[in-house]
Amino acid sequence: MDDAAPETASSSQIGRRVTPSTLAVEGVSYAYSKKVALDDVSFSIASGFTALLGPNGAGKSTLFALLTHLFTTPTGRIEIAGHDLSRTPRQALAKLGIVFQQSTLDLDLTVQQNLTYFAALHGIAGRTARIRIAEALERLNMADRAREKVRALNGGHRRRTEIARALLHDPTVLLLDEPSVGLDAAAREAITAHVHDLAADGMTVLWATHLTDEIYDTDQCLILHQGKLIEYGIVQNLTKGTPLKDHFLTLTGAKQ
Amino acid sequence: MIWLPALRAIIWREALRFVHQRERFIAALVRPLVWLLVFAAGFRAALGLSITPPYQTYITYETYIVPGLCGMIMLFNGMQSSLSLVYDREMGSMKLLLTAPLPRWWLLFAKLMGSTTISILQVYTFLAIAAAFGIDMPLMGYVTALPALILAGLMLGALGLALSSFIKQLENFAGVMNFVIFPMFFLSSALYPLWKMAESSRLLHDICAANPFTHAVELIRFALYAEFNGPALGWTLLATTAFMALAIWGYDPARGMTRKRA
């Protein structure tokens, strides 16, 4: 099957070559009992914003489950900040910040309590934890919400809390699985901008979505369709002037 | 070393959540209290109990079923946490937990310790209410019961966790009620002593004797009288290890515990 792979499948195509890759996926496949969800996916990305674009059912969530070590697969290799996820999962996970699609906050606890819990899971406690939490909340403009119960927050602020939480242990790579689901337009834009800022500051961001308006022209983009990675590169190089949305729909066959 | 802070945080989170769910706490107490104050009161006349260890005098039926009801609290709690995982209510926080940079078995163990802590708080509240109604144990028994309760809580929590990794749909949960909770509770020494069971059916007696819940209840029963029951401890330990192993296997990433949900 390798000879059929397009030339673009070489991992060095994506990412600015000057920076070493911080997230590398190599020949990863995954099948549920009968259905193939991921078919020989390879890419490697470095600091900056990378969108993982694909229609529903393309395999985005499966890829995320593999990247977060909730699943493992015998085929292929995943490396996070230089740590092999299957051989040294703990070192790899320590370098990974994750925002799950489904909210994982405790609604009856305050923002501060939610973050303190997470910090402790990553071995950060006491004064260090308090400082890191304050910094992370500050970064997401959430500092004044620390004492509020999550239940009292709106969807956008809940998401920001989750992003702040994912930054507490100072990860190299930040994964977000459709983080804007269920948010209104303003909150969606704010979250998208916040995460782009993080990427501009040097973090490796992988943002899964099926919404093209969350992706900027200068972002890198991986297009996943039916379990295969069908295209990747800088958005403006891929689209060559056409709107990303049209390009994406044509590519995935939703539009003739 | 981040193992202990993580364990502490996981127990702390369970405790905080518990404080915020007073309704659940009360509901969990009502069930055993109804059994104790209504069912047992009606049954005491029908059931004659002879003096068997650890009891040194004739006891009322109410006194007999207290350890069984302690077990019931823990059994329901174990299944409840399993239900909340199947329901997806807790699956999110489970994912968060499992992506922490610690060995999975330790994370699952810490989670069980957290839910066991809550169970034990409920059990002691139940015992205090029972004592207020005159159904009390020797004072020392309340202390020596603690390790027995921890082990029983871990065993039943591990069973719930193992089940939650195998049951993928909510519809199947009614099956868990029918095929796990009820048989486990009724085919045990919680409500009637095993010798009494043997009088009516040898087979039922043997099933009860093999039921790990019986041994957990007997362990608690003896501990409540500051007595040690070696075989019960052995069986409970064995069952805890087996259920724990099953849970760890069930949550093995190579098996894909959230497969259906991806």
Q: What is the Cα–Cα distance from B110 to B105, expressed in whole angstroms?
A: 9
Q: In the structure, what pLDDT confidence band is assigned to residue B82 with cuts at 50, 70 and 90?
A: confident
Q: What is the arithmetic mean of pLDDT over A38-43?
A: 94
* CA distances in angstroms from B117 to A41, A185, A202, B12, B129, listed in the order given: 44, 43, 43, 10, 19
Say yes or no to pLDDT of B262 above 50: no
B15 close to A (CB below 8 A): no
Cβ neighbours of residue B207 under 8 Å, at least 6 residues apart? B187
What is the pLDDT averaged over residues A147-165?
Answer: 95
Q: What is the predicted pLDDT for the residue at B89? A: 66
Mean pLDDT of chain A: 89
A77-80 and A83-84 as β-strands: parallel, antiparallel, unpaired?
A: antiparallel
The answer to whether residue A108 neighbours chain B at the CB level (below 8 Å) is yes
Question: Higher model confidence: residue A10 or residue B179?
Answer: B179
pLDDT value for B170:
59
Which residue's structure tokens are 């195998």?
B166
Q: Which residues in chain A have Cβ-Cβ distances shorter than 8 Å to B2?
A: 121-123
Nearest 5°: the CA angle B11, B164, B250 is: 95
Angle between helices B139-166 and B104-132 (to 10 degrees): 140
Q: Which of B10, B90, B96, B261 to mutate to test the interface with A (most CBs of A within 10 A)?
A: B96
pLDDT value, residue A240: 87
- pLDDT tens for each residue of A73-131: 888 999 999 999 999 999 999 999 999 998 899 999 999 999 999 999 999 999 999 99
For residue A2, what pLDDT band results from cuts at 50, 70 and 90? very low
Q: Express each pLDDT in A209-221 by its tens digit.
A: 999 999 999 999 9
Number of domain units in chain B: 1
Option in A62, A109, A125 nearest B16 (CB): A109
pLDDT of residue B219: 97
Element (H, E) at B175: helix B171-176
Q: Given pLDDT bands bounded at 50, 70 and 90, which one contains residue B256? A: low
pLDDT at B177 over 80: no
Which domains does chain A possess? Answer: 2-95+171-251 (3.40.50.300), 104-170 (no CATH)
pLDDT of residue B79: 84
Q: Answer whether the bond into residue B54 is a cis peptide, omega within 30°.
A: yes
Residue range(s) defining the domain that contains residue B40: 3-261
- DSSP per-residue string spanning B43-72: HTTT------TT-SS---HHHHHHHHHHHH
Percent of chain B whose pLDDT exceeds 90: 56
pLDDT of residue A8: 43
Partnered with residue B7 across adjacent β-strands are: none
